Amino acid sequence: MTTLAILNPANGQLITTLPADDTGTVAAKAAAARAAQPAWAAVPLAQRKTCIEKFRAGVVRDLESLATTMTRETGKPIRMSRNELNGLLGRIDFFLIQTDLVLATETVFDDSGMKEQIQHIPLGLVANISAWNYPWFVGCNVIVPALLTGNAVLYKPSEYAAMTGLEITRLLHEAGVPRDVMACLVGAGEVGSALLAQKIDGVFFTGSVATGRRIAQAVGGRFIKLQLELGGKDPTYVADDADPKAAAESLADGAMYNIGQSCCSVERIYVHEKIHDAFVAAFVDTVRTFKTGDPMSEDTYIGAITRAPQLDVLDAQVADARAKGAILLAGGARNPGPGHWYQPTVLANVDHTMELMREESFGPIIGIQKVSSDAQAVQLMNDTAYGLTAGVYTPDEARARAVLSQVNAGSAYWNCCDRVSPRLPWSGHGDSGVGLTLSTYGIETFTRPKAWHLRRA
Binding site for ligand NAD (CB under 6 A): 129-134, 138, 156, 158-159, 188-189, 192-193, 196, 206-208, 211, 214-215, 229-232, 263, 360, 362, 388, 426, 428, 433
User: CB neighbours (10 Å) of residue 53?
Assistant: 15
CB of 233 to ligand NAD, least distance (A): 9
**Residues 6+ away with beta carbon under 8 Å from 307:** 9, 132, 160, 340
184, 263, 264, 417: the active-site residue:
263
The C-alpha atoms of residue 33 and residue 332 are separated, in whole angstroms, by 48
Q: Are strands 114-122 and 106-110 parallel, antiparallel or unpaired?
A: antiparallel
Catalytic status, residue 229: yes
- The nearer residue to ligand NAD, 243 or 418, going by C-beta atoms, is 418
CB count in 10 Å sphere of residue 273: 12
Nearest CB to ligand NAD, comparing residues 41 and 188: 188
CA distance 328 to 322: 7
Start-to-end C-alpha separation, the chain: 62
Helix (H, G, I), strand (E, B) or coil at 283: helix
CA gap 365, 347 in Å, rounded:
8
Q: Which CB, 21 or 444, lies closer to ligand NAD?
A: 21
Quote the least distance from Cβ 442 to ligand NAD, whole Å: 11
**In the complex, minimum distance from the CB of residue 230 to ligand NAD, in angstroms, rounded to a whole number:** 5
Pairing of strands 389-393, 235-238: parallel
User: Between residues 244 and 363, which has the closer beta carbon with respect to ligand NAD?
Assistant: 363
Active site residue 184: no
Our CB check for ligand NAD shows the closer of 191 and 282 to be 191
Return the residue nearest ligand NAD (CB atom). Answer: 192
Nearer to ligand NAD, 266 or 330 (CB): 266
Least separation, in Å, of the C-beta of 215 and ligand NAD?
6
Q: Do residues 389 and 410 lie in contact, with contact meaning Cβ atoms separated by under 8 Å? A: yes
Provide the 3-class DSSP secondary structure of residue 15: strand
CB 208 → ligand NAD: shortest distance, Å?
3
Q: How far is the CB of 41 from ligand NAD (least distance, A)?
A: 26
Strand partners, 106: 118
Angle between helices 244-256 and 276-288 (to 10 degrees): 50
Closest CA to 438 of 427, 425, 428, 429: 425
- Active-site hit among 73, 229, 359, 360: 229
Q: Annotated active-site positions, please? A: 229, 263
